[in-house]
Amino acid sequence: MKPDCVLFDFDGVIADTESSNARYLGKALAVFGVAVTPEDERRMVGVNDREILEELLQRAEPPVTVERLLEERRRQGNTYENEPSLSPMPGLLPFLWRLRAAGIRTALVTSTSSRLILAALNRMGMSALFDAILCGDMVEKRKPSPEGYQKAMALLGAAPERSIVIEDSPVGIRAGKSAGALVAAYKCGSFSQNTSQADFEIWDYEDCLSLPIFGLSSE
């Protein structure tokens, strides 16, 4: 049985942005004498947390506000608008085309802001491949709240039990499962994360074409 829809996270699922995001943030923090460790990078994957930035800035001397850091981040640029290597994950585009050809609706649900996500999608020529796009500034509560996924399902008229969410982080997996969807963990991003709470794992989008759960194998 085909799902009603497949809903994708963006960072680490649509594009491998995590390493680049850490690099841009590291450049901004370095201006204030703050070095980002590998452990810092792992903590920031999949979350949009002001408290983590405040904690990192405690290492700055003299003290720096989060607002000043955010100003510097804008000056340094970002992955979505500026990174030359930004591109879709391998095998993703054929998978999306097959989903849509089979009448399975698609949505993008992310905690990243709409300005950055829309810029990235436009750069990759992917804006028309999603029937709904829900970004972090379009909801009251970001992941791990299920609000984004719930809104996307409502927009698509999709039943939660007939929806599949593709995520790469524990926070995103919690959001998808709390929304009542079946959750697949995508495992090919730069950062290896604990995805043990997902219902199943994806290692290659090309393999998804033959997985019965997506209803494409008979197409």
- Cα(26)–Cα(43) distance, integer angstroms: 14
The answer to whether residues 191 and 42 touch, using CB atoms and an 8 Å cutoff, is yes
In the chain, the largest separation of any two C-alpha atoms, in whole Å, equals 63
**137 Cβ contact partners less than 8 Å away, ≥ 6 residues apart:** 113, 114
CA atoms within 13 A on the CB side of 37: 7
**Residue 46: per-residue pLDDT:** 56
**Residue 218: per-residue pLDDT:** 56
The answer to whether residues 202 and 182 touch, using CB atoms and an 8 Å cutoff, is no
**Residue 97: per-residue pLDDT:** 97
- Cα(89)–Cα(92) distance, integer angstroms: 6
Domain residue ranges in the chain? 5-16+87-214, 18-82
The pLDDT tens digits for 207-216 are 999 899 998 9
**Residue 48: per-residue pLDDT:** 62
**Residue 219: per-residue pLDDT:** 57
- Cα(73)–Cα(67) distance, integer angstroms: 10
The pLDDT tens digits for 166-191 are 999 999 999 999 999 999 999 998 77
Q: Do domains 5-16+87-214 and 18-82 have the same CATH topology?
A: no
- Cα(134)–Cα(112) distance, integer angstroms: 9
**Residue 18: per-residue pLDDT:** 87
**Residue 22: per-residue pLDDT:** 86
The structure tokens listed for 46 are 């999949």
Residue 83: other Cβ atoms inside 10 A:
19
| Tens of each residue's pLDDT in the chain, 219 residues | 799 999 999 999 999 998 898 889 889 999 999 988 888 877 776 556 788 888 889 999 888 999 999 999 999 999 999 999 999 999 999 999 999 999 999 999 999 999 999 999 999 999 999 999 999 999 999 999 999 999 999 999 999 999 999 999 999 999 999 999 999 999 998 778 889 999 999 999 999 998 999 989 755
Sign of dihedral through CA atoms 78, 83, 87, 90? Answer: negative
- Parallel, antiparallel, or unpaired: how do β-strands 200-202 and 163-167 relate? unpaired
5-16+87-214 folds as Rossmann fold (3.40.50)
Residue type at 14? Answer: I
CA 103 centroid distance within chain: 23
Class of domain 18-82: mainly alpha
- Cα(156)–Cα(71) distance, integer angstroms: 37
